[in-house]
Structure 1
Amino acid sequence: MFKTSDGIMIDYKVQGESEEVVVFLNGIFMDYNSWFFITEQLKGQYRIILHNFRCQWSSQNGSCSFERHVEDLKELLDYLKISKVHLVGTSYGAEVGMFFAVRYPELVKSLTIITATARITPSIKYKALRWKDGAMSKNKEIFVRSWINDVYSEQFLDRYPNLFGTIIQRMSQFNYEGAVKLLDAFLELERKPLLNQLSKIGAPALVVSAQFDNIKPVNFSQEIAQQIPGAKHVCIPDCGHAAVIEKPKEVLFLIKAHLFFLKN
């Protein structure tokens, strides 16, 4: 555990010994162990930094905003004496990554942005508010039903008919109060969109979208890639929003290719 400057305990994990550091940034309801398949394949070549954001799973609740997540990460990197990182984030974590790259461009070697948005439209807002209602219920079934169709593709849900039950079994330690705070922080993007700040990002950026993303569709990734100078955009076919879960091999391939290209 690491204590932030405002006294919040953040659960983090370090793997590998390389001087090249990759920081993975969670989606809104993810636990850092959800990156396991990908980090297991990379920890031999890179030093891996994982953490649960404040208000997320095993980390403590506190005042929550994208700006505060950025400062938490900066403080964690300072604590670990790390000065340059590759950032890989999905959804909410990718949005934190973009905010971080705008705020601390000198610390970012590269940026991988997976199924994210830089602004909130009415469609995204009403889905996020439905998720918030689910979290406020503190009922596992109601909560998971509030978002499962937005997060996973129809094909994936059909392929794994027991997925709902599997997720429910893993929810015993879920932080519902924290999830409400995280959703409120996300909804601030409506008032303070990030899109017009993305031109400040100088790090090489890979933007990854998913063909059947029902919460942050492909066009939101396209506009992010258009705003970040020199960014590349790749769309994963036959995949829903939770690309890290639905298509981990493809996500791993894209991350490795991006990092390999930079190294060479």
Structure 2
Amino acid sequence: MAYFKRGNVELYYELHGEKTKPVVVLLNGIMMSTLSWHGHLPDLTRFFQVLLMDFRDQGKSSRMSQNYDISIHAEDLNALLDHLNIDKINVVGLSYGGQVAQLFALMNPQRVNALVLSNTPARISPYLQELGEAWKEAARLYDGEKFFSLAIPFIYSDTFYNNNLKWLKKRQEAFKTLLDKDWFNGFIRLASSNLSFNTLDELSGIKSPTLLVMADRDIITPINEMELIKEKIPNSECLIIHDAGHAAFLEKQGEFLAAVMGFLLRYN
């Protein structure tokens, strides 16, 4: 657990596992932090050294005062790898983190051994743009409990809600104190950073083996959006997690880990 300083920005990161093992970098979704992955570490560190990082405006990393483009996170990751003397990595990007992963793979193809894109689009569709605007409006209430009730139902599947409502209500209660004004302002900047994101015309440049993880109840990144990526990346394959939503990595953690680890172990 440490900080890497890039200019006047401090980026929080964690390294877990043995240095002799292949490195896998897990890139956060927009509402996540390094802590979101901790439940996955016991399995992943059996075979990999795992690098976690908080993007600018996330978790324990610096809060910004001005807007920026999503590509800054790919540049931050590249600088962090230089700092850690890590040459080649496997990248797992989830949602917003998957967009960063696409940019990183396009900007630094020599550094990517294998790539996993989970529940992530290659473009901001009109629907996704409107959803982002709704999330930002909810964030401007600066009320964690209200934000949860307005934003989170889109993330989980109806099945997960029906089976885990008590746990979700406890999370909603916790949001009252977990999310402060700095978090909300950071979220608004993050949600504004990818409005022009569109890699569809560039994805053919990704040559590393790529796994696309989809979920059949994901309304944020539906299967047809990820199929657009499949058409563009030449060395790619798809896997569908059934009866799960956008947060399939948590809803079906075992299936998610089996898919990701099985794929990465083929190339390491």
Q: Return 5+ residue gaps in structure 2 as ranges.
A: none
1:169 Cα shift?
4.1
Residue 11 of structure 2 corresponds to 10
Q: In the alignment, residue 181 of structure 1 is paired with which amino acid?
A: R
In structure 2, the residue matched to 1:76 is 80
TM-score, normalization by structure 2: 0.93
Match of 1:259 in 2: 264
Matched, 1:67 2:71: yes
How many aligned residue pairs are there? Answer: 260
Identity across the alignment (%): 32
SS in 2 for 1:226: helix
More deviation, 165-174/87-96:
165-174
Per-residue CA distance 1:114-136 (angstroms, 9 max, x = gap): 00001111111111111111112
Residue 188 of structure 2 corresponds to 180
Q: How much has 1:186 moved relative to structure 2?
A: 2.5
1:32 CA drift (Å): 1.3
Q: Aligned partners of 2:171, 2:69: CA distance in 1, in Å?
A: 26
8 Å CA contact 2:4–2:13 kept in 1: the answer is no
What residue number does 2:89 align with?
A: 85
Q: Are 2:138 and 1:130 aligned?
A: no
Partner residue, 1:238: 243
Which residue of structure 2 lines up, in the alignment, with residue 98 of structure 1? 102
CA distance in 1 between partners of 2:170 and 2:84 (Å): 35
Q: Is 59-68 or 89-98 further displaced after alignment?
A: 59-68
Question: Residue deviations 1:2-21, cap 9 Å, x none?
Answer: 34433111111001113410
- Paired with 1:94 and 1:249, the residues of 2 have a C-alpha distance of 20
Structure 2 equivalent of residue 107 of structure 1: 111
Q: Is the 8 A contact 2:93 2:117 kept in 1?
A: yes
State the Cα distance separating 1:198 from its structure 2 match.
0.6
Indicate which of 228, 231, 234 corresponds to 1:229.
234
Whichever residue aligns with residue 218 of structure 1, its letter is: I
Runs ≥4 in structure 1, deviation > 4 angstroms? none
What's the offset of the Cα at 1:65?
2.2
How far, CA to CA, are the matches of 1:2 and 1:36 in structure 2?
A: 18
- Aligned match for 1:20, one of 15, 22, 37: 22
Which segments of 5 or more consecutive residues in structure 1 lack a partner in the other structure?
none
2:163 to 156, 159, 162: 159
Conserved in 1, the CA contact under 8 Å of 2:113 and 2:267? Answer: no
CA distance in 2, matches of 1:48, 1:57: 17
Aligned with 1:36 (options 38, 57, 73): 38
